[in-house]
Structure 1
Amino acid sequence: MKRFYLVMQDRRMISELSSKLAGTKLFQFVGLSHDAKELELNISNFIRADIVIIENCFKKAELHDIIRIINAQAASIIASRRLFKAIVYRRGEKVPDEFQTKEIGVDLTFGITLSQTQLSHLINMKIYSNTCYVLDKWIRQIIVDGIDIDNFNEDLTNILHEIGIAASLLGYTFLKRAIEMSFLNIDCITLGITKVVYPTIALMYKTTSSKVERSMRHAIETGWTKSNVDIVEKIFSYSYSISRGHPTNGEFVANIADYLMVKYRIERKKFLAEHANQINKINALIDISTNGDLANDQLFVKLAMEDDDDDDKVPA
């Protein structure tokens, strides 16, 4: 459950906004301040929040003070959790565009007229997209040149080739990244392929989650009938076979990652210890995949998998 803190003065807006967010059962109210002075006195409360929502009623100087106080305390928050800032606008007021929002110094702006559902999804998507962005940044630091374990990258490449997946397919690259992510933390795939793996890979390659999902599925479907039977039996045991049909994206990635985790058990343990700082940050973010509130929000998942019309093609 996400926590919100309000910096507002209008009683009706406070009541309306609180009711909308609390009514979703996805957000918990953790406090209210009426101005910058009160906010500074309530630091212990507002740093517990995931988002601080500010009413558009303050003069420029006081709004600057409010944002400064929030930013000053944000650094003390537990690693991997970001404190978001939003401004809510009254009925009839023009809501700034994305560029203007950044100039103000907040992450999000919206009007009070948004419905409960719209408001919930807007805030969740902002928090969610940032989580995937940070996850992408930390994973890149580790796997940009492949995982530095002797023979690991060659072994992974050979497995994909033996299963019949051509390197010319876009899905080949996406599958490699997904397997590497799962090798670092198997929860990436077993608990959060839709909410962690697809969006993070999409950020890496500047595409959409649905494009990642389709490209991976296309690569598996294309290569499965050409697979080396011995490799399939070794990695997938008797759960799948060329005659029975191919596994899903998640099952495909999880089985190969698990096989490599067993094969490189000692080397993996050493690698994780050497990259403990990045790995700990990645692991802390993986909790998004076990968030029951979001997992049950089907529209949220649908938005995360927002489609595009591009066909699967070879990367340039």
Structure 2
Amino acid sequence: MNTVFATSNILSKNDQMMFQVLKELRLVRQELDELKRTVVASQMEEATDLIETSLEYKSSGSLEEKVTNLLRKIRIPANLKGYYFLREAIMINYNGCGQMMKSIYPNVSQKFNTTPSRAERAMRHAIEVAWSKRNETCIGSLISYRSGRPTVSEFVTGIADRIRLDDGSLENK
């Protein structure tokens, strides 16, 4: 009789453990479903941002507005000096039809009263910040570059060329 009672206690403990495992599995499944929804929403938001970027800077009037819209969509924070340096460098490159970066750094640094090496470092930092926010796909869809994080030169010339292509002015130059 005692063995029958002991067996029923063991079964109920096993049942309790299985019930607990099933509860935990259900929670894990809910967390995975929520994670999937978050990832899909993030991807959709990224795609929407890219479409909006394209529409905004194509329809915006001035070059400065186009460059500003692109830098915002790439999520380069405006509180960084490099943001303003990049904006100026892209506009110089656009107007100079692909001017070499060696000649752009002194122009940017002179406008902002700093040295060329500090200007270059600030621009590199701004690109690193955007890159660390996991915007590789956003940046990669706007410009072409080797592998890894784009250099300042690749970034500036890529954005300027992108605007030229969209404006239709690349064929004219």
TM-score by length of 2: 0.57
Give the alignment of 1:1-316 within 5 angstroms: 150=61, 152-188=63-99, 192-194=100-102, 196-237=103-144, 239=145, 244-265=147-168
Higher relative contact order (CA 8 A, sep 6+): 2
User: Residues 231-257 of structure 1, C-alpha deviation per residue, up to 9 Å, x if partnerless?
Assistant: 3232124x45xxx52111101101000
Of Structure 1 and Structure 2, the greater helix share is in 2
Partners in 2 of 1:222 and 1:234 — Cα distance? 18
RMSD: 2.6
Q: Which residue pairs with 1:293 in the alignment?
A: none
How big is the shift at 1:156?
1.6
User: Residues 205 and 162 from structure 1, CA distance in 2 versus in 1: closer, same or farther, beyond 3 angstroms?
Assistant: same
Alignment check: 8 A CA contact 1:182 1:253 kept: yes
Alignment check: 8 A CA contact 2:123 2:152 kept: yes
Partners in 1 of 2:63 and 2:170 — Cα distance? 9
| Number of equivalences | 114
Partners in 1 of 2:137 and 2:77 — Cα distance? 18
Larger Rg: 2
Which structure 1 residue ranges, 4+ long, deviate > 6 Å from structure 2? none
Identity %: 35
User: Residues 217 and 227 from structure 1, CA distance in 2 versus in 1: closer, same or farther, beyond 3 angstroms?
Assistant: same
Q: 3-state DSSP class of the match of 2:76? A: coil
How big is the shift at 1:205?
1.2
User: Residues 201 and 152 from structure 1, CA distance in 2 versus in 1: closer, same or farther, beyond 3 angstroms?
Assistant: closer
User: Residues 229 and 199 from structure 1, CA distance in 2 versus in 1: closer, same or farther, beyond 3 angstroms?
Assistant: closer
User: Residues 268 and 212 from structure 1, CA distance in 2 versus in 1: closer, same or farther, beyond 3 angstroms?
Assistant: farther
How big is the shift at 1:222?
1.2
In structure 2, list runs of 5 or more residues that go unmatched: 1-59
Q: Which amino acid aligns with 2:97?
A: I
Q: 3-state DSSP class of the match of 1:187? A: coil
Q: Which residue pairs with 1:95 in the alignment?
A: none
In structure 1, list runs of 5 or more residues that go unmatched: 1-148, 273-316
Alignment check: 8 A CA contact 1:202 1:208 kept: yes
Of Structure 1 and Structure 2, the greater strand share is in 1
Partners in 1 of 2:139 and 2:98 — Cα distance? 23
User: Residues 199 and 206 from structure 1, CA distance in 2 versus in 1: closer, same or farther, beyond 3 angstroms?
Assistant: same
User: Residues 154-190 of structure 1, C-alpha deviation per residue, up to 9 Å, x if partnerless?
Assistant: 33212112222100000000000000011112331xx
Q: Which residue pairs with 2:39 in the alignment?
A: none
